[in-house]
């Protein structure tokens, strides 16, 4: 019997973007076609009945069984053991444009931590300061109570009039700040004390009532984020009268942790809240640990092979992304009891992966920053290579953030915060392309 002709493949195309729908009848296409060939075919079908001046040329990407096509069609099917004797279903969608750089914010020293919220960015620097910026690159307020480099920052809440933030430092403290943007006045409300070494990471829970911190002392601590001076974990007794006398001489009230959890053998590098009462920590001891902070117990350990520098959790995919000193980004499924906990390994960086962040609106996408002076935009449906490399940075990347859907942020040893406009987002008022002095 003659061998089947695999020089052509029967393909049926479909899309979830209804404006680009074409007939769902199968097409015979050469097995050698690549993405740009298929994109030309879809455009030809879409423009078939349009006047010449109405025709559009749109770049499309193609998914087969949930993975982007990056090889010739026949080769991809061969690698994935997809039969060439059946009609292959190919989903197409508009290709995502590259993120566009929109400016940089210049600091006085290395920028170690950043977090966006609505239209503002908070940053922590080795110059010992915490700063708030708008997306035009204007430094709105500078907070300078720390005595050593700031390693971690996070928003507690962001309101039009009064906002609250927390910062952690090499000076072993976490400070809770109150910023009245209408009066442009900032007050350091609390000094959270209990760590014995540098505070390297902090995360606020979804209710904005607690935060957790990880330190070089290997300890995880849980704190109240309340800004009510009568909170039970303050050491001061006459706090009510002090609240009435907030002046320039106001000194922050000392706050102690609600809970301390130990179990890591080396420094904790990254923390996050994966559920209402579940905290996740990453460590230089090669592990990721999950903790029940209601019961105060360790729940589970995910074990890697090298020091883990950063973790990020997606509420949509329920996966944990990690960045490691072995240059890999790994995706972990903490729900797995038996079998492979690591679902995917993304390998393209040439240096330590210092920071990772999931998209807040797309379950497939995340960014990573590295000592190789690049940040990369990944799509989990394209595991072999990033969608885009954002290079041209002058030095090592220490932090990335994707809290604002339309803005990708990175910061590092070049003393800058860099902003990129995420594609398929609302127009972002662009900062000047030059570095903006803070």
100-437, superfamily in CATH? Answer: YVTN repeat-like/Quinoprotein amine dehydrogenase (2.130.10.10)
User: Rounded to an integer, what distance in angstroms lies between the CA atom of residue 238 and that of residue 29?
Assistant: 79
> Mean pLDDT over all residues of the chain?
90
Structure tokens at 70: 């990056």
Q: What is the pLDDT of residue 6?
A: 59
386 closest CA partner among 333, 437, 348: 348
DSSP per position, 73-88 = HHHHHHHTT--TTSPE
pLDDT range class, residue 235, cuts 50, 70, 90: low
3.10.20.90, 3.40.50.970, 3.90.950.10, 1.10.10.10: CATH of 8-94: 3.10.20.90
Indicate the range of 4-8, 51-55, 186-190, 434-438 predicted with least confidence: 434-438
Per domain, the residue ranges of the chain are 8-94, 100-437
CA 427: distance to chain centroid?
21
**Residues 320, 157, 144, 432, Cα dihedral to 10°:** 80
For 78-85, what is the mean pLDDT?
91
What integer is the mean pLDDT of 86-115?
94
Confidence grade of residue 56 (pLDDT, cut at 50, 70, 90): confident
pLDDT for residue 384:
87
H/E stretch holding 21: none
Average pLDDT over residues 348-376: 96
């Amino acid at each position: 019997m003659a061998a089947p002709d695999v020089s052509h493949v029967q393909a049926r195309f479909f899309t979830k973007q209804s404006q680009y729908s074409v007939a769902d009848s199968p097409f015979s296409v050469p097995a050698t076609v690549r993405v740009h060939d298929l994109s030309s075919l879809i455009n030809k079908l879409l423009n078939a009945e349009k006047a010449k001046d109405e025709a559009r040329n749109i770049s499309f990407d193609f998914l087969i069984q949930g993975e982007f096509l990056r090889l010739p069609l026949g080769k991809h099917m061969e690698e994935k053991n997809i039969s060439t004797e059946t009609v292959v279903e190919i989903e197409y969608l508009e290709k995502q444009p590259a993120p566009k750089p929109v400016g940089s914010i210049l600091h006085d020293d290395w920028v170690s931590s950043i977090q966006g919220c609505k239209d503002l960015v908070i940053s922590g620097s080795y110059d010992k300061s915490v700063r708030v910026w708008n997306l035009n690159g204007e430094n709105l307020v500078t907070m300078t109570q720390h005595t050593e480099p700031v390693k971690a920052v996070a928003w507690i809440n962001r309101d039009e009039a009064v906002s609250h933030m927390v910062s952690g430092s090499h000076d072993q403290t976490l400070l809770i700040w109150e910023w009245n943007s209408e009066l442009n006045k900032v007050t350091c409300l609390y000094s959270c004390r209990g760590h014995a070494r540098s505070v390297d990471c902090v995360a606020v829970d979804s209710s904005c009532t607690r935060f957790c911190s990880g330190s070089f002392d290997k300890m995880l601590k849980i704190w109240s984020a309340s800004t009510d001076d009568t909170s039970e974990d303050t050491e001061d007794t006459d706090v009510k009268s002090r609240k009435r006398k907030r002046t320039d001489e106001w000194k922050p009230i000392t706050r102690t942790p609600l809970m301390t959890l130990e179990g890591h053998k080396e420094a904790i590098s990254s923390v996050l809240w994966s559920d209402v009462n579940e905290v996740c920590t990453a460590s230089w001891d090669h592990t990721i640990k999950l903790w029940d902070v209601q019961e105060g117990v360790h729940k589970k350990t995910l074990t890697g092979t090298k020091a883990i520098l950063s973790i990020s959790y997606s509420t949509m995919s329920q996966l944990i992304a990690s960045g490691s000193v072995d240059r890999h980004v790994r995706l972990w499924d903490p729900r797995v009891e038996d079998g492979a906990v690591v679902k995917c390994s993304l390998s393209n960086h040439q240096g330590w992966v210092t920071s990772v962040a999931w998209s807040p609106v797309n379950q497939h996408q995340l960014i990573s920053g590295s000592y190789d002076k690049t940040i990369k935009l990944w799509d989990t449906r394209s595991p072999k290579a990033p969608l885009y490399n954002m290079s041209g940075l002058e030095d090592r990347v220490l932090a990335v953030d994707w809290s604002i859907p339309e803005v990708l942020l990175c910061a590092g040893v070049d003393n800058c915060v860099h902003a990129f406009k995420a594609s398929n987002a609302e127009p972002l008022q662009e900062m000047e392309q030059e570095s903006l002095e803070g």
